[in-house]
Amino acid sequence: MEWRACCPRIARTCRATLLAALMGVPSLARAQDDAGPPPIADTTGAVAVDRYANLYSGQFTPGAGFDIIRTTKGTLNISFYGLFRYLNQMPGDQTYTDHLGRERTVKARNDLNWHRTMVWVTGWFSDPRFRYNVTCWSLASTEQTLLFGNLRYLMSEKVSFGVGISPNLTNRSLQGSWPFWAGSDRQMTEEALRGGFASGFWITGKLRRFYYTTAIDRSISQLGNTTGDDNRDMAYSASVWTQPTTGECGPRGGFGDLEHHQKLATQFGLSTCTSREGRYAPIDAAPKASQIKLSDALNPFERGALADTITVNKLTYQVVSFDAGAKYKGFSFQGEYTYRVLSDFSATGPLPVSSIRDHGFFAEAMHMVVPRKLGIYAVTSYIFDDFKRHPWEIAGGASFYPYGNRQWRLNLHVIHVEKSPASSNFGYYTAGQTGTTVSLGTDILL
């Protein structure tokens, strides 16, 4: 009887002791491991909003990812992007004529590929303002894999600094909106006229609703070029943009209104770049520079590109772009105009031109016909070029988001293109194609 009488008292004492212990454990854990509040997830759950949300890193901006380590001394997060795609460029057997009247073969593709992989290891160390980003980029289509990174110091919302691999600021799509695009790759005009990515230094920040970035890079693209190939010239670029109506334009400023804005969200921007570019190879060898294309998709550094038997060794690349976007209740619009000049040619002989001026635009519109699930879109682009080829395209497609967010997408993208000036194994286009391209893919961002 005495034992039974003691049981309730013992049980109450045990429960009180256990409760006190459980309440103490989180406090102790926070004191040892807490690195401050976690990143704020956006409405899609696909992106972690930076403390200073100027997402300058372009293709190297990770998703929300998974926190592996989070302590008072630093953090480590792993994030992942993957794309599987079927691509068919039709007709498969065709030729085209370049601006000098020479017939060339169109190398049309019909392939299935795990196309692109991105793995990011990100976080901060010692000071939450000191950020690191190590990126593994792999393109199975071309069997290329690179490992690189960047470092940023977030001194304040108004001024932050960064070094590492970064975009040249030629077009808005290079500045953080990827992969929230209409399809999985860029449209014809920006793909033909844009710059690329290279090692550089940048300063970026926000002044009220105005954002800015300035950058110095080793070239407009270092892909395929080693330090031993490089010259002493640099690329200089800058961009400004504003979001005047709501102070935001959706996650990353990307395309599509999954978030169903109840107030009109807008964005307007200006980007520019100038660079003295070389072929990064001996004059008697094939050029290693591959970013710049003429309006007939020729590499200007190829032998005979501008005149038979003549090789361009250096040129000056200059570009300016104006962009605008809007989102409202499931509707979205994005457009950009780009003007590019190639000039000051250094060549092995006389050339028929002293400069080449190409300019063009793209415009795309989308409606979420099923809110947060299914969007239907249309795209067009056109280039006014010095060679009077006037390449253009009209395209459309549909994106389905199974979970109602941007983390997983199924996409159908159909293009009709005339005299494609863009050409790469990265995107939708091959040199000189006139015909239809069909892309069916699925991508994830975690």
For the chain, which domains are there?
Answer: 32-445 (2.40.160.10)
Backbone phi and psi for residue 188, each to the nearest 5 degrees, phi listed first: -60, -50
141-145, 355-359, 379-383, 423-427 — which is least confidently predicted?
141-145
The residue-averaged pLDDT of 312-326 equals 98
Query: What letter would DSSP give residue 2?
Result: H
pLDDT-based confidence at 43, cuts 50/70/90?
very low
The predicted pLDDT at position 229 comes to 82
Residue 142 confidence class, pLDDT cut points 50, 70, 90: confident
The answer to whether 397 and 412 have CB atoms below 8 angstroms apart is: yes
Strands 392-400 vs 331-347: parallel, antiparallel or unpaired: unpaired
Highest mean pLDDT out of 52-56, 285-289, 318-322? 318-322
DSSP 362: E
323: alpha, beta or left? (left if phi > 0; alpha if psi -120 to 50) = beta
Q: Give CA–CA dist 65/71, Å, rounded.
A: 17
Residue 45's pLDDT band (cuts 50, 70, 90): very low
Q: What mean pLDDT comes out for the span 195-219?
A: 94
pLDDT of residue 230: 84
pLDDT in tens, 395-404: 999 999 999 9
pLDDT attached to residue 351: 97
Give the confidence band of 28 by pLDDT, cuts at 50, 70, 90.
Answer: very low
Threshold 0.85, pTM exceeds: yes
pLDDT at 231: 87
Angle at 367 between CA 361 and CA 372, to 5 degrees: 125
Across 74-83, 145-154, 223-232, 360-369, the highest mean pLDDT is recorded for 360-369
Q: State the maximum Cα–Cα separation within the chain, in Å, rounded to a whole number.
A: 113
Give mean pLDDT, residues 295-303. 97
The answer to whether 412 touches 379, Cβ cutoff 8 Å, is no
Instruction: Specify the pairing of strand 74-90 against strand 160-167.
Output: unpaired
What average pLDDT does the segment 186-198 reach? 96
- Do the beta carbons of residue 199 and residue 218 sit within 8 Å? yes
Q: What's the mean pLDDT in 151-167?
A: 92
Q: What is the reported pLDDT for 357?
A: 98
Residue 161 near residue 153, CB atoms below 8 Å = yes
Strand partners, 217: 200, 235
